[in-house]
Structure 1
Amino acid sequence: MDRLVKADVKEVELVFIKGQKSSITFTLTNLMHTMSVAVSLYTKKPSFFSFNKPFSIIPPLSSSSYTLLSQPSDQPPLTNPPDAITVKTTMVPLGKVNHDDTRRRFSKPGPHIFKDATLPISFLGPQVIEHLISSNTQISDTDFFFNKAISGCSGNQLTVLLQSAAVSGKADLVRTLIDHGGDVNHKESNGRSLISLAVEAGNLDVFNVLISSGCEIDNSVDHVFHYAAAINRVDLMDALFRAYKNTDSIDSVDFNGRTPIHISAIHGCTQVIRFCLSVGASPEALDVDKCTPLHLAAKGGHLDTVECLLEASNYSKYALNKQGKTAFMLAIENDRSNVYGSLHLDDALSRAARIGDVNGIKSCIDEGANVNGKDQNGWTPLHRAAFKGKMEGVRALLGYGGEVNVFDKNGYTPLHCAVEAGHVEVTLLLIGHGAKANLKCQRYGYGGWFEI
C-alpha cells in the first residue's frame, strides 16, 4: 500500500490579512478497511503555523477534519519553495493508543512510518499582492506568488491594486492585474487616470502597458505633460506626444494656467524645455499671474533654463507679470545672483560700453556680466564701445578679456566698427591687442557663414 490516508485537497490556501490570524480546514480520510491510522502533521515553521490536532487517530474508512492556523504577521511569509503540510501516518493495530504513545511512535523513523501527503501552503488575497508590489526585495518566482494571490481577489480589489501597481514601475504586474480583470480605466477619487499615476512616478514601461491596454485620459484633470515636465523626462514627453498625436497638448494649461514649459522652468528642467520648443510650444505663454516661463526660471535661479528661454524669446526678458515685475526683478527679490548677468547685467554692460562709463563697465563685470555677451544683433560690449569711439571703455573691456576678432550677425568685428566710424585711436588700440586688419568681413546666411 502506497498510503494510509487521502487528503481532500492538493494544497491549502490561506487568505492573508495583515495583523490577523488566518485559518483553513481540510479533511483526511483513512483508506484502511479494518485498521485505525495515527496521523502526524507538521510544517517547516512550527512557530508560525500550528494545527488544532497535530496528532490524531482516524478509525477505519473514516474521515477527520484538521485546521491549519497561522500567526498574525505584518507581511505574508512567502518562501521559495513554499512551506507545506507534511502528513505522516502509521497503523494502529489495536485501534486505540494515547497521544504520548503516538508521539513516541512518530519520533522513531522506520518502515512503520508512511509519508502520505505534502500539501503546499499558498497565501491569497489583495494584501499579498500589495506586498509583492511594494516590496523592494526581489522575491524569486514573484509571478508564481502573484498568480496564486490573485485567485483570492475580486474584480474590484484587482482594480484598486492597479493604482499601486501603476506607481510601482513593475510593468509585468500591471499587465497581469489587467489580464485578470482589473479595470484599466479606473479613476482616482479626484478623477485622474492610471496613466497620470504612471507618468508622475516616471514609469515609462508601465505607461506603455497602459497605453497598449486602452487606458484613456481626461485632459481636464490628467495633466500628464506637466507631470513629465516636472521630473525632466524627455522620453516620457516624447512618448506622450506620440501616443496622443495632439500638438495642442504641449501648450495645455493646468489649474494655474501653466504650460509644461512653465513647470519645467520652475524645476530647472532645460532638456524638457528644448523638447517642447522643438515641437512648437510657446516660450512666451502667461500663467494666471501673467508670469512667463522665464519669470519662474529666474525666480528659481536656474541659469541653464534662463539662458535657454532667452535664446527662444527676446520679449520675455522685458515682460511684466501681474505685479509689474520683470524676470530680473524676481531674481533680485530671491537673491538669484547667478542669473543677473543673463537677465540684466549684460544689458547694463552694453549701455556702459556705449557711453564709455569705465566704472559702470567694471561694476557690471565684477557683478557677473559676460564681457563677451552678445545682444540680439550679435554685438558685444566691445563692438559698441569701438563704434562709439570710447577709448577708455575699449581699454577697460580689453583688460577684462574682451574678444577683438568676434563677429556680429552681419559679420563685423569691433575693428570693423571702429574703422567704419572713423575712430583712428581706437582702431590702433584694437590692432595692438591682436585685431586682424585683414580679417575678411563675413555674413551669416542660410548656408552658414560666407565671405564677402
Structure 2
Amino acid sequence: MKRTILSRCILLREMAETDPKLSQRKDDDGRYPIHWAASSNNLDIVVLLANQASFDPDIQVSRPSSHTSPSVTCNKGNLWLTFMANQDASGWTALMISASVPDSEPVLRVLLQKGADINEKTRLLLDTKPPASTRVRDRRGQYPIHRAAAVGSAPMINLLLKNRSPLNPTDNEGYTPLHHAVAEGHADAAVVLLKEGADFTIKNSDDVLALDLAPDSEVRRYIMQGAEREGIDLSSS
C-alpha cells in the first residue's frame, strides 16, 4: 500500500506536465490531484497544479457518502504524512487537508496566495489565481481552522485568521477550534486562540466547555497560566 501511494505522489508532477486535463480528474475515492499534493505536503506539485488554467482552490473531496476506505500515506523524506482517506474527509478542500498536516505552512501560504512569502517566481505565477477560501466547511461542519487547531499548529492558526477565517465556528458536534486544540492537548495552540479572542464560554453539543476537555491537569494548568499572562481570566470557566 505504501509503495502504491508513494508512486502516485511521485507521478503526480509528470501527469500534470504531460496532460493538464488530468489535474481536473478525480480518483475513485473522489480526490483530485491537489488533494494528494496537499496531503503529501509537496510544495512544488501544489504550485504546479495551482498554475493550471482551470485550477479551483476550493474543489472538495466528493466521495459518495456510502464509501469508506483506509488511511493512506505519502512519504516525504523520512516522514510519513497521513491523509485520513475515510468517509469523514468528504467535503475537504486542499486548504483543509493542508491545515491538518503539521509543518505545511508553505503549502498553506500558496493556497492562500501568499506567494510573496515564498519566492518571486511563485508570486508572479499565482497573481491571477483566486485564493483558497478559509470559510469552506466539510461534511462535519469543520473549517480549516478546526483542523489547524486539532494538529496544534499556532503558525497555521495565525495564518488562517489573517485570511478571514472565523475564530469561533462550531462544527456538527458543537466543537470550536478551541475545543479541538484543548481536547488534543495542544496548549500552545489553545493559548494562541484565546489571545486572538476565542470564546471560552461556548459549550459543545454535550454541554462541555473547551477547557474541560483538557486530557490532564498539566495541560489545563498550562492553558490557564498562558491565558493569565495575556490578561484573560479563565477562572470562571
Q: What is the TM-score of this pair, normalised by structure 1? A: 0.37
Equivalent residue, structure 1, for 2:141: 257
- Of 14, 26, 34, the residue aligned with 1:195 is 34
Alpha carbons 1:184, 1:214 under 8 Å: kept: no
Using the TM superposition, give the Cα deviation of residue 339 of structure 1 relative to its aligned residue in structure 2, in angstroms: 2.7
Aligned AA (2:177):
P
Question: Does residue 375 of the first structure (1) align with residue 231 of the second (2)?
Answer: yes
User: Which has a greater percent of strand?
Assistant: 1
Aligned AA (2:96):
H
Aligned AA (1:326):
L
Q: Structure 2 CA distance, aligned partners of 1:302 and 1:371?
A: 14
Q: Structure 1 CA distance, aligned partners of 2:93 and 2:189?
A: 22
* Closer, same or farther: CA 303–279 of 1 in aligned 2, 3 Å: same
* Closer, same or farther: CA 170–186 of 1 in aligned 2, 3 Å: closer
Q: Structure 2 CA distance, aligned partners of 1:212 and 1:326?
A: 43
Q: Structure 2 CA distance, aligned partners of 1:264 and 1:169?
A: 28
Equivalent residue, structure 1, for 2:123: none
Q: Percent identity?
A: 23
Equivalent residue, structure 2, for 1:229: 99
Equivalent residue, structure 1, for 2:208: 325
Alpha carbons 2:16, 2:22 under 8 Å: kept: no
Q: Structure 1 CA distance, aligned partners of 2:141 and 2:60?
A: 12
Aligned AA (1:253):
R
Q: Which has the larger radius of gyration?
A: 1
- Of 154, 177, 180, the residue aligned with 2:18 is 177
Aligned partner of residue 209 in structure 1, secondary structure: helix
Equivalent residue, structure 2, for 1:240: 111
Using the TM superposition, give the Cα deviation of residue 311 of structure 1 relative to its aligned residue in structure 2, in angstroms: 0.6
List per-residue Cα deviations over 1:122-174 (Å, max 9, x = no partner): xxxxxxxx99x84xxxxxxxxxxxxxxxxxxxxxxxxxxxxx1xx22774x34
Q: Structure 1 CA distance, aligned partners of 2:227 and 2:27?
A: 54
Aligned length: 185
Q: Structure 2 CA distance, aligned partners of 1:330 and 1:376?
A: 19
* Closer, same or farther: CA 341–193 of 1 in aligned 2, 3 Å: same
Q: Structure 2 CA distance, aligned partners of 1:328 and 1:310?
A: 11
Q: Structure 2 CA distance, aligned partners of 1:281 and 1:330?
A: 23
Equivalent residue, structure 2, for 1:210: 49
Q: Runs of 5+ in structure 1 lacking a partner?
A: 1-129, 135-163, 347-368, 382-452
Q: Structure 1 CA distance, aligned partners of 2:49 and 2:148?
A: 25
Q: Structure 1 CA distance, aligned partners of 2:228 and 2:30?
A: 52
Equivalent residue, structure 1, for 2:169: 285
Q: Runs of 5+ in structure 2 lacking a partner?
A: 62-91, 114-125
Q: Structure 1 CA distance, aligned partners of 2:211 and 2:173?
A: 16
Aligned AA (2:97):
Y
Alpha carbons 1:200, 1:228 under 8 Å: kept: yes
Following TM superposition, where does structure 1 have runs of at least 4 consecutive aligned residues deviating by more than 4 angstroms?
Answer: 369-372
Aligned partner of residue 307 in structure 1, secondary structure: helix
List per-residue Cα deviations over 1:370-407 (Å, max 9, x = no partner): 79735349xxx9xxxxxxxxxxxxxxxxxxxxxxxxxx
Aligned AA (2:211):
F
Q: Structure 2 CA distance, aligned partners of 1:256 and 1:305?
A: 21
Q: What is the TM-score of this pair, normalised by structure 2? A: 0.67
Structure with larger RCO (C-alpha < 8 A, sep 6+): 2
Aligned AA (2:206):
Q
